[in-house]
Structure 1
Amino acid sequence: MSTPVVELRAADLNEQGGVFCPSPKAGMKLWNSHPRVYLDVAHTGEARCPYCGTVYRLAAGEVVKSGH
């Protein structure tokens, strides 16, 4: 089974530079998933969910504003 990877645009990140998992962007239904966790994507360009292993990654060429 391969690890799901979700490519994000900078505009998909919240004001802190992250996303929450589970996420509709990953095709997940919130009612049957793991607890909601915050993943910081802005600082490293990607983050892996500790529950389901989904990787959230900035798409090539995406730039996060310096305010993040």
Structure 2
Amino acid sequence: MSQNIIELNASEVTPEGGAFCPNPKADMQLWNTHPRVYLDVAHSGEAKCPYCGTVYRLKDPSSFHAAH
């Protein structure tokens, strides 16, 4: 199974630096979804969903801190 990596712009995360999974960019089918979870991507630049293993990564972590 290949790992999904979703790259996010600073504008696509919450002001606190979070993202949610499932995310529309993850392109999951309804039958394959899981409970919505909050992932802190701003702290380290990426976070992995504990349910599906999708990795959410900031394209440019410094842009988040500049924008917020």
Shorter-normalised TM-score: what interval? 0.7 to 0.9
**TM-score normalised to structure 2 length:** 0.84
SS state at 2:6 partner? strand
Q: Which runs of 5+ in 2 are unaligned?
A: none
Task: Quote the residue 1:51 is aligned against.
Answer: 51
Q: Which runs of 5+ in 1 are unaligned?
A: none
- Percent of pairs with identical residues: 57
Instruction: Give CA deviations for 1:11-59 in whole Å, capped at 9, x if unaligned.
Output: 1101110100001111124x43100000000010000000000000011
The runs of at least 4 consecutive aligned structure 1 residues that moved more than 6 Å come to none
What is the CA-CA distance between 1:61 and the residue it aligns to? 6.5
